[in-house]
């Protein structure tokens, strides 16, 4: 491949031509960080939504997961101390949905541990969704594992508008982190969600030992699947998990990754998710300027999140409207 310049990349993006994995890697390896960031800022201002999208989640079923994902404290292979419980009641889920709606949050997602819900749990979740829809106007999402096409159709009919299933990392790296299910099974789930008319949300975690080349591969796969909402989690190592001693990424590594995702996917919602509490406020703001234009607000599944009112102040200071 001939040497490519940052100007070449800019022209491709503004002419709606896809930046290849090879081109992106070459640019990351040969470009000054601030120049890369400045291009991402320009793309964000001109190609991305400046209306900042917010969502919140509820850990509707916790722990006892059969899968061996190395990052997760809810796995039965983890010795982490977490709360363990079955599906929450429709009243508990609705109360939190209503609270978030009152805070001006756009979306609310039901998230459950485990490979997938059982048929009876899908029944109960549909009841929860219908109950929330009868009491609130908040948009509803779900992250319930590797569900079938029929399950996903039933959830859509109940009132779910978007389904979430993280690819987590590059397909080439995923088998190093989990062996009880595959990237292909996740992709099948996402494609089934699209088939029944659901929007899809899929991203992952950076800082689990993957290379920059693999992060670029990860971005390319999400782009290929036409994912429009991409959660960007930063590994927050949890004691008791196999990744508890993983060295954290530098703030420059995180900003570079955000810039890569924005350059490769100019129009998507890049969504700050778990782990951002580890960053300084100035780095969070810069990440938003570079390309983060949505976020999960409030607490995460098994870790503390960020204060909603503080988030709103930060979002506005980065040039977005809510």
- Asked, for residue 16, whether it belongs to a domain, the answer is no
Looking at residue 79, what is its pLDDT?
87
Each residue's pLDDT tens digit, 150-204? 999 999 999 999 999 999 999 999 999 999 999 999 999 999 999 999 999 999 9
The count of other CB atoms within 10 Å of the CB of residue 69 is 23
Residue keyed to tokens 């693999």: 214
- Asked, for residue 157, whether it belongs to a domain, the answer is yes
Count up the domains in the chain and report the number.
Answer: 1
Looking at residue 301, what is its pLDDT?
47
Looking at residue 108, what is its pLDDT?
96
Looking at residue 303, what is its pLDDT?
41
Q: Give yes or no for a contact between 210 and 169, defined as CB atoms under 8 angstroms apart.
A: yes
Averaged pLDDT, groups of 10, the chain, 322 residues long: 90 97 97 97 96 93 90 87 90 93 92 94 98 98 97 98 98 97 98 98 97 98 98 93 94 97 98 89 95 82 59 89 86
Looking at residue 207, what is its pLDDT?
97
Q: Give yes or no for a contact between 322 and 312, defined as CB atoms under 8 angstroms apart.
A: yes
- Asked, for residue 2, whether it belongs to a domain, the answer is no
Looking at residue 197, what is its pLDDT?
98
Residue keyed to tokens 């508990």: 92
Which residue range(s) make up the domain with 135?
25-317
Bridge partner list, 306? 298
- Asked, for residue 127, whether it belongs to a domain, the answer is yes
- Across the chain, which distance is largest between two alpha carbons, in Å? 60
Looking at residue 240, what is its pLDDT?
92
Looking up residue 68, the CATH number of its domain turns out to be: 3.20.20.70
- Asked, for residue 147, whether it belongs to a domain, the answer is yes
- Asked, for residue 6, whether it belongs to a domain, the answer is no
- Report the half-sphere exposure of 254 (CA within 13 A, side-chain side): 28
Token duo for residue 313:
């102040």
- Asked, for residue 19, whether it belongs to a domain, the answer is no
- Asked, for residue 14, whether it belongs to a domain, the answer is no
> Could you give phi then psi for residue 188, rounded to 5 degrees?
-60, -45
Looking at residue 176, what is its pLDDT?
97
Instruction: Name the burial class of residue 13, with classes exposed (0-12), middle (13-18) and buried (19+) by CB atoms within 10 angstroms of its CB.
Output: buried
């Amino acid at each position: 491949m001939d040497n490519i310049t940052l100007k070449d990349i800019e022209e491709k993006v503004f002419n709606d031509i896809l930046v290849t994995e090879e081109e992106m890697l070459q640019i990351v390896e040969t470009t000054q960080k601030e120049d890369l960031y400045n291009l991402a800022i320009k793309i964000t201002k001109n190609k991305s939504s400046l209306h900042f999208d917010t969502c919140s989640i509820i850990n509707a079923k916790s722990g006892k997961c059969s899968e061996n994902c190395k990052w997760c404290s809810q796995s039965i292979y983890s010795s982490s101390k977490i709360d363990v419980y079955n599906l929450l009641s429709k009243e508990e889920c609705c109360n939190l949905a209503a609270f978030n709606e009152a805070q001006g949050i756009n979306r609310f997602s039901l998230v459950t541990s485990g490979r997938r819900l059982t048929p009876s749990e899908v029944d109960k979740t549909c009841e929860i969704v219908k109950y929330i829809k009868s009491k609130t106007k908040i948009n509803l999402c779900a992250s319930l594992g590797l569900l079938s096409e029929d399950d996903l159709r039933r959830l859509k009919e109940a009132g779910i508008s978007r389904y979430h299933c993280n690819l987590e990392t590059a397909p080439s790296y995923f088998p190093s982190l989990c062996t009880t299910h595959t990237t292909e099974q996740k992709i099948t789930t996402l494609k089934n969600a699209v088939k029944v008319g659901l929007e899809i949300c899929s991203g992952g975690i950076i800082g689990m030992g993957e290379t920059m080349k693999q992060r670029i591969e990860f971005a390319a796969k999400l782009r290929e699947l036409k994912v429009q909402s991409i959660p960007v989690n930063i590994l927050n190592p949890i004691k008791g998990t196999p990744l508890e001693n993983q060295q954290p990424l530098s703030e420059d590594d995180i900003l570079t990754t955000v810039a890569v995702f924005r350059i490769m996917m100019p129009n998507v919602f890049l969504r700050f998710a778990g782990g951002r509490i580890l960053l300084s406020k100035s780095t969070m703001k810069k990440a938003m300027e570079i390309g983060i234009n949505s976020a999960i607000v409030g607490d995460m599944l098994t870790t503390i999140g960020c204060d909603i009112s503080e988030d709103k102040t930060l979002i506005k200071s980065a040039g977005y409207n809510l």
